[in-house]
Structure 1
Amino acid sequence: MASASLDFIAAGGNRHPCAADWNEVLLAYGSGHNIALWKPENNNHKGVETLLAGHTDIVNAVKLFRDPSSGKRVLISGSADKTVCVWIEKSDATFVPVKHLTEHTASINVIGVLPESGVFATGAADATLKIWKLVVSESAESEVSLIQSITLAPRYFPLAIALAKLQSAQLVIAVGGTTANIQVYLQEDNDFSLVAKLTGHEAWVRALDFTRESSKPDSDFLLASASQDKYIRLWRFHAGDQLPEVAAAASDPAMTVFGRSLSNKAHWIGDGDSKHSITFEALLIGHEDWIYTARWFTKTGQDAAPQLLTASADNSLAMWERDADGFWTCATRLGEISAQKGSTTATGSTGGFWIGLWSPSGSKVVSLGRTGSWRAWSYDTTEDRWLRELGISGHVRAVKDIAWSNDGTQLMSTSSDQTTRLYSQWKRDDATTWHEMARPQIHGYDLNCLSAIGATQFISGADEKLLRVFNKPKAVAQLLAKLGGTAQDAEDADLPDAANIPVLGLSNKAINALTPEEEAAAEPSEETTITKSTLDLDHPPFEDHLARHTLFPELEKLYGHGYEISCVAASHDGSLVATACRASSIDHAVIRLYETKEWREAKPALTAHSLTVTCLAFSADDKYLLSVGRDRQWALFSRNAHNAYALALANPKGHSRMILSCSWAPAHASNIFATGGRDKNVKVWALNGDGTVDLKLSIPTSAPATSVAFYTGNLAASNTLVLAAGTEEGNVTVTAIDMGDWSIKEGYQIEQGMRPSGAVTALRWRPETAREVEKAQLAISSEDFSVRLFTFEKLVGA
């Protein structure tokens, strides 16, 4: 029986400051509607371990912790679908949802937890704060009860929550959000009441975090607050009737220039033994833009001082420490140098860092940027500095299409996030893993489709009504050959070294790499320069490299369509490209052909459809071009002696609803094709020698069939066709079809935990040319932002 293993997942992170958390070896982050689990300190660089599907909208908040009473690891997630989900870990990196909390009436923005008390709090865009009690038993059963619901007044949306247990065992909750002050709630009996408002910030408060000043039992609490006013404020919670010693920074006469905002007015909370003072401790200045996250890290040992990590929209992470004189200073700054901050998105500007997290040991930090990619740094004790490490990346919008290179060594994906990404293998002695190796296209329009042309070119179509053809640059070809052990496929001297995008432009311009000597002698210019050593790496590129130095130069633009491009397909011999666009009339629902030598349109355009053509496919011998569309019909165009295509046959009632995908069988059965439609059917057709077509098999699916793909390799039995079909619900089924009696020999469905949680947009079997192949591999793209690669140990029907 067939079995599939999930080899690779590419999934970008949601751009929300609360959408990630790191506990022990596991980092959990929101990726679309899913929660991705990653082990950043795993030296094999596998990347995302799995995706948890439990929400129906974007995940905004994630908290991960180990429950002290049961020893179980707990994950709490909040989403724009207005729900909070509680997950319990069953085994390593395997969580199951045990509770769905639906009390909020708007998007969940933030979650705060206090594991030792079994209490967590949630804040939502309904301007309420809800406090919950969580009990996890040894059997991993859990009970969640709502303790209190607080309507925030004056009405504002909470964006940050921090919880702490004071020395009196009372719980305190600090809340910040779309207002400039911080509200402090104290537990009295079982209820929480507002006891203080901390003022001083001049814009929304984005992050709050508590820590103890030291591990001494009577040490004070410090609260860090970070704001869109570019400043971090520290607040001291001190037990007793006496005020703490005045902080050095607050008493420094030089600080009085900042005016009354630094006044050290004390707030008193609690009574008797539980009496505490809240005083302003320090103002941390150094960021140049909004600050999104602030996280404490406290080393073990009684005298260890806490460190604060902040992430900002100025593309930097800052680590703050208190020096011997009591002043808080920025000890380390990581991220991008200031000279690159003014660059446009097209040339790699990241739009800032949205999240910054410590590893549990404090020896590693990660940050999430605008592109959905994670950067990582680890502390090197021998060099006494932080060094860049390999992170992970992925799309941050629906992935619309994927395509393999002709030799099967590279997989490309294109997405509504306006990027095209290239994945390939990194082969080492002890491991082989998949990584994003290049970002060939960073665009200004949503990208809808792509197709590989030969070994070194690809074509993509977007919402801009034209198609663009790209060449692989030498630098990327050499990197892929070095890391993947593949043949050098870009020795052609005509290929450029690299590419860049001019400011305010959309076309990738070819540029030549410079030697360091040439760069030193070159005249300064606004265009990005690249040295020959930039991509001479012994590891996959970091995010900085991907965003700036791995663009593919544009070779050609193809015009002719009047609306957004819907699909594109290249012939197997690479001589022709067929394209179509969105259409609501016969005039626009045409298929245009372009030859790839001079890139001229082969006229006339092919007409058969009356609505949008959704998919195009050339037969294995390029003798036929198959098209399917929203008008419920499929059409066959045959090639004549002059290498021109003409309509040979059309079936206006191929399906009872729109047809969304089509695929040709491999060369030994080149007269067979399949179609999948919204009528929840996959149909297999056979073209007869007399030019007629018979329906051989109809396979029902559980939901509208959005993608079909015949396996074209050599691992299937000689009289068997293997067909993969994906649906709108994310189901993926692989079926073995007996060509003798057109019956289904065997079927295999990818299990729920591994399959996409959104609609499958494309299925592509990995080509097996020029490779020693013992296993079949299937790439899947989905509207859940993910690209997945499955390996079949044994193929159905083999």
Structure 2
Amino acid sequence: MSSGDGRGGGRGVGVKGVFIGAGCNRIVNNCSWGACDLVAFGAQNAVAIFNPETAQIWTTLPGHKAAVNCTQWLPSNKFAFRAKKLDRHYLLSGDAAGEIILWEYSVLEGKWRYVQQLPQLHKKGVTCITGIMVSQTEAVFASTSSDSMVYIWEVVFPSTSGGVCELLHLDSLSVGTKPMVALSLSELPGSTGHLVLAMGGLDNKIHLYSGERRGKFVRGCELKGHTDWIRSLDFALPTCTNGEASNVLLVSSSQDRGIRIWKMALKESLDSNQSAYRKEKVSLASYIEGPVLIAGTTSYQISLESLLIGHEDWVYSVEWQPPSNASSEGIAYCQPQSILSASMDKTMMIWKPEKTSGIWMNVVTVGELSHCALGFYGGHWSPNGDSILAHGYGGSFHLWKNVGTEYENWQPQKVPSGHFAAIADIAWGRSGQYLLSVSHDQTTRIFAPWKNEASPRDEESWHEIARPQVHGHDINCVAIIQGKGNHRFVSGADEKVARVFEAPLSFLKTLDHAISQTSDFSDDSQVGVQILGANMSALGLSQKPIYVHAEQHTPDKNVNDGLDTLETIPDAVPVVLTEPPIEDQLAWHTLWPESHKLYGHGNELFALCSDHDGKLVASSCKAQSAAVAEIWLWQIGSWKAVGRLQSHTLTVTQMEFSHDDKFLLAVSRDRQFSVFSIDKAGTDEITYQLVAKQEAHKRIIWACSWNPYGYEFATGSRDKTVKIWTVENESSVKLLATLPQFSSSVMALSWVGLDCNSNEGLLAVGMENGLIELWNLSVKRSDDGVAGAVASLVVRLEPLMCHVSAVNRLAWRNCKNEDSGSLQLASCGADQCVRVFQVNIN
């Protein structure tokens, strides 16, 4: 993980990244697995890097202003056998605005460096980048875009770390009105020094261009056969016979559900050995002669080697298995006859030729049982060929590893997971054991540290452990409320209803495993919980409970058996998880049952908060008039609406109860804040009164947060300022301090106490540009009230640790039992990322 330290103010504070959760952009070519054994993928406009060994995202690289469409490692997994001794690897990433950025990764230091942005030649989104290493320090790569242009570049890498990369634009190819969406580069066999570029796209043909290393690329020939868009192309490394490369294989896949293998053979070798070839027992199909590719003075005969039929939907990607290292020097290689394909039919397949007949067969199929995957956008081999990774429609990863020794046995493995759209809100569990997040991807997810018993230092790694809500609307806000074991939440989405969810028994027991019995609640929390889990109804939005004793009855046979209808979705099987779950378990078997709906608002819900007692919930919705902008108060338990607070004229963007629940603070798009006094008379009755209302900023107020020790609060606005206020005599509000102007709009605030006696705390500030700062706040009090507030910047988090677009919410972890010298801060943002930081105070 990235780490960064800052010094400033009265205290020394060190910050390090603990966890990043993010989903993959739902687009083909988005993901790539490099020779350095790291996987790169686009998460909104960030390039995320994860380590398949630990299933943890290491870092996100900021730089793109638009969504990242494609990534490509140099060297790629295909050249892993040559890259064993490299201490620097490079990564290319292209985005939806046409920008391509080159990054450098230092293996020894584990550090990343933004090298440069390529001159922006593409006018529209980059859809595919392909590249090959032509020597240890030189690479050639090509990029294509929906602007119907293909650009070819050469890059020379520096001999020393941090040196300058030399970039040379070799050629520009215009492909007409139908753009290319798939590319692959290869060196041609023989000693010609020529390269071949294959491209395919919307015209259903494969176009071959050849060129010298630093020369222009000329159109060679077209390969016809596919009947729909070509989605993926991949050259094998040239196969060697008697020490000399004589031919190269190209595999292509298409939306026509077919995969084709093409053979390019040196023409001379084909003529001289014609009679020898004829004697071998091979199928006639191998000799259906196609066009001839001429590169310089050499010509290559192309033939269709094989047609692979097996997928039932579009085949989005095909990839040759990376060569194994055949010598200790890492120069010679053996190209395996093995292809991985990934399709929208929810499967990945490995194809190999049969030993006797040479006919290509599907030997491994994985993924077909996942009713939730909704198809795969791409599949990739690990550099050593023992693992395969797919990324799917739900922004999810699926990884299988061959754990067999004598025979192949592919088993699912842990992968990072996260949201695949902007994350709107986060909340810590009441005892701080887990973090709950809600997103515009219409899911609610729970992330928690999972104690690793196998680890000698009893380390914990974070994982997604449940997906309580899968909804038909974008979810905007969430609040954790009191419930059995304090595991109950209310969420609000782009509908006018707030929904209440209860933790089922399967989750409570799973949480015990995750925190290894070190929790501050005992098994009492599970006593009396009769609900084991929940089922999703096929067409509805409500999640129905599955009761503990229901499983003992013999289920009736489904009357629709054998019929593929919307109603026959499989039942969930909630189980107690003893290790972090994989995507299939998360998406189907970890739902929470919905217990109540809260009706009342006139528009889409926007903000929620709960008091510290867990007895009241406040909610607000999108509003453009005072009547709609009222805040509703709901009583937990009876679920009655016990108050409608009127003050604002536009959407209330955030609300928070004071530390003793006496006041409710609300901030709004109308640039004003309101402070209400809330009085719980002990009965069901609640009285409330508007104490103060003030126009506080020049632009929308996005965020607010109370001082945990007093009646001071902070407000943050689009006008790039943070102001500190205090409630005086429970009747008026006074401005204490205005922090120096920030570099970007302030979107999120969270105040945590450090020292009750000196009334000192840390204020976390999150901005629209994704950056986070920590400020030391000390409130000075005199005999007649509050005298003022002193603020000082303690640490600016490194950009590599922060979000790459707007921070939507910040939240300090409630850790009453932990040493006060160490705190944890969670953040979420528009870049699809949930982050947790460890803040160490000296």
* Same fold per superposition (TM over 0.5): yes
- Indicate the residue corresponding to 2:360 in structure 1: 328
The within-5 A match list for 1:679-690 is: 679-689=719-729
Structure 2 gap ranges (5+): 1-11, 77-81, 327-332, 561-567, 781-787
**1:132 is the counterpart of 2:171:** no
SS in 2 for 1:104: coil
* Structure 1 residue 327: Cα displacement: 0.5
* Structure 1 residue 33: Cα displacement: 0.5
Asked if the contact 2:530/2:547 (under 8 Å) is kept, the reply is no
Asked if the contact 2:678/2:689 (under 8 Å) is kept, the reply is no
State the one-letter code of the partner of 1:122.
S
In structure 1, what is the Cα distance between the partners aligned to 2:281 and 2:423?
53
Asked if the contact 1:472/1:495 (under 8 Å) is kept, the reply is no
**1:387 is the counterpart of 2:411:** yes
SS in 2 for 1:218: strand
The within-5 A match list for 1:222-261 is: 222-241=249-268, 242=270, 245=277, 251=284
* Structure 1 residue 753: Cα displacement: 1.5
SS in 2 for 1:393: coil
SS in 1 for 2:649: coil
SS in 1 for 2:118: strand
**1:470 is the counterpart of 2:470:** no
Structure 1 gap ranges (5+): 253-261, 342-348
State the one-letter code of the partner of 1:549.
H
**1:293 is the counterpart of 2:317:** yes
- The equivalent position to 1:80 in structure 2, one of 96, 109, 115, is 96
The within-5 A match list for 1:356-395 is: 356-382=379-405, 384-395=408-419
SS in 1 for 2:24: coil
Q: Structure 1 pair 266/630, CA: closer, same or farther in 2 (3 Å)?
A: same
Bigger Cα displacement from structure 2, 687-696 vs 308-317: 687-696
- Indicate the residue corresponding to 1:255 in structure 2: none
Q: Residue deviations 1:605-640, cap 9 Å, x none?
A: 110001111111111111111111011111111123
Paired residues in the alignment total 767
- Indicate the residue corresponding to 1:198 in structure 2: 223
Asked if the contact 2:692/2:733 (under 8 Å) is kept, the reply is no
- The equivalent position to 2:745 in structure 1, one of 704, 717, 722, is 704
- Indicate the residue corresponding to 2:832 in structure 1: 785
Asked if the contact 1:18/1:355 (under 8 Å) is kept, the reply is yes
- Indicate the residue corresponding to 1:142 in structure 2: 165
In structure 2, what is the Cα distance between the partners aligned to 1:728 and 1:746?
18
* Structure 1 residue 644: Cα displacement: 2.1
SS in 2 for 1:640: strand
Asked if the contact 1:379/1:385 (under 8 Å) is kept, the reply is yes
- The equivalent position to 1:50 in structure 2, one of 45, 59, 62, is 59
**1:39 is the counterpart of 2:51:** yes
In structure 1, what is the Cα distance between the partners aligned to 2:586 and 2:559?
23
* Structure 1 residue 356: Cα displacement: 0.7
Q: Structure 1 pair 326/513, CA: closer, same or farther in 2 (3 Å)?
A: farther
State the one-letter code of the partner of 1:621.
D
The within-5 A match list for 1:432-471 is: 432-454=460-482, 455-471=486-502
- Indicate the residue corresponding to 2:28 in structure 1: 17
Asked if the contact 1:624/1:636 (under 8 Å) is kept, the reply is yes
- Indicate the residue corresponding to 1:312 in structure 2: 343
Asked if the contact 2:673/2:696 (under 8 Å) is kept, the reply is yes
State the one-letter code of the partner of 2:316.
Y
Asked if the contact 1:248/1:327 (under 8 Å) is kept, the reply is no
**1:496 is the counterpart of 2:531:** yes
- Indicate the residue corresponding to 2:179 in structure 1: 157
Asked if the contact 1:176/1:206 (under 8 Å) is kept, the reply is yes
**1:750 is the counterpart of 2:750:** no
State the one-letter code of the partner of 1:465.
K
Q: Structure 1 pair 213/335, CA: closer, same or farther in 2 (3 Å)?
A: farther
Asked if the contact 1:86/1:98 (under 8 Å) is kept, the reply is yes
Asked if the contact 2:626/2:648 (under 8 Å) is kept, the reply is yes
In structure 1, what is the Cα distance between the partners aligned to 2:553 and 2:198?
56
- Indicate the residue corresponding to 2:9 in structure 1: none
In structure 2, what is the Cα distance between the partners aligned to 1:760 and 1:464?
24
- The equivalent position to 1:102 in structure 2, one of 108, 112, 120, is 120
SS in 2 for 1:212: coil
- Indicate the residue corresponding to 1:572 in structure 2: 612
Bigger Cα displacement from structure 2, 716-725 vs 573-582: 716-725
* Structure 1 residue 31: Cα displacement: 1.1
Q: Residue deviations 1:52-101, cap 9 Å, x none?
A: 01111111111112498986311111110211111122442523232333
The within-5 A match list for 1:268-667 is: 268-270=292-294, 274-297=298-321, 298-301=323-326, 305-324=336-355, 325-337=357-369, 341=371, 349-382=372-405, 384-429=408-453, 430=455, 431-454=459-482, 455-485=486-516, 486=519, 487=521, 488=523, 490-512=525-547, 526=568, 528-531=570-573, 535-603=575-643, 605-640=644-679, 642=681, 643-666=685-708
In structure 2, what is the Cα distance between the partners aligned to 1:18 and 1:172?
20
Q: Structure 1 pair 235/691, CA: closer, same or farther in 2 (3 Å)?
A: same
In structure 2, what is the Cα distance between the partners aligned to 1:510 and 1:385?
36
* Structure 1 residue 126: Cα displacement: 0.5
Asked if the contact 2:807/2:830 (under 8 Å) is kept, the reply is yes
* Structure 1 residue 271: Cα displacement: 6.1
> Percent identity at matched positions?
32
In structure 2, what is the Cα distance between the partners aligned to 1:446 and 1:320?
40
Q: Residue deviations 1:432-477, cap 9 Å, x none?
A: 0111001111111111100100211101111111111100111111
Asked if the contact 2:625/2:650 (under 8 Å) is kept, the reply is yes
* Structure 1 residue 501: Cα displacement: 1.1
Asked if the contact 1:123/1:158 (under 8 Å) is kept, the reply is yes
In structure 1, what is the Cα distance between the partners aligned to 2:571 and 2:233?
41
In structure 1, what is the Cα distance between the partners aligned to 2:390 and 2:303?
31
Q: Structure 1 pair 514/56, CA: closer, same or farther in 2 (3 Å)?
A: farther
Bigger Cα displacement from structure 2, 634-643 vs 539-548: 634-643
Asked if the contact 2:103/2:115 (under 8 Å) is kept, the reply is yes
In structure 1, what is the Cα distance between the partners aligned to 2:342 and 2:104?
29
The two structures, once aligned, show a CA RMSD in angstroms of 2.3
State the one-letter code of the partner of 1:11.
A
Asked if the contact 1:214/1:305 (under 8 Å) is kept, the reply is no
Q: Residue deviations 1:210-269, cap 9 Å, x none?
A: 0136444324211000001111000001002436758988636xxxxxxxxx99242111
In structure 1, what is the Cα distance between the partners aligned to 2:680 and 2:505?
38
In structure 2, what is the Cα distance between the partners aligned to 1:772 and 1:11?
29
Asked if the contact 2:631/2:646 (under 8 Å) is kept, the reply is yes
Bigger Cα displacement from structure 2, 262-271 vs 361-370: 262-271
Q: Structure 1 pair 746/280, CA: closer, same or farther in 2 (3 Å)?
A: closer
Asked if the contact 1:37/1:93 (under 8 Å) is kept, the reply is no
Asked if the contact 2:210/2:295 (under 8 Å) is kept, the reply is no
Q: Residue deviations 1:495-520, cap 9 Å, x none?
A: 41000111111111111357987567
Asked if the contact 1:299/1:306 (under 8 Å) is kept, the reply is no
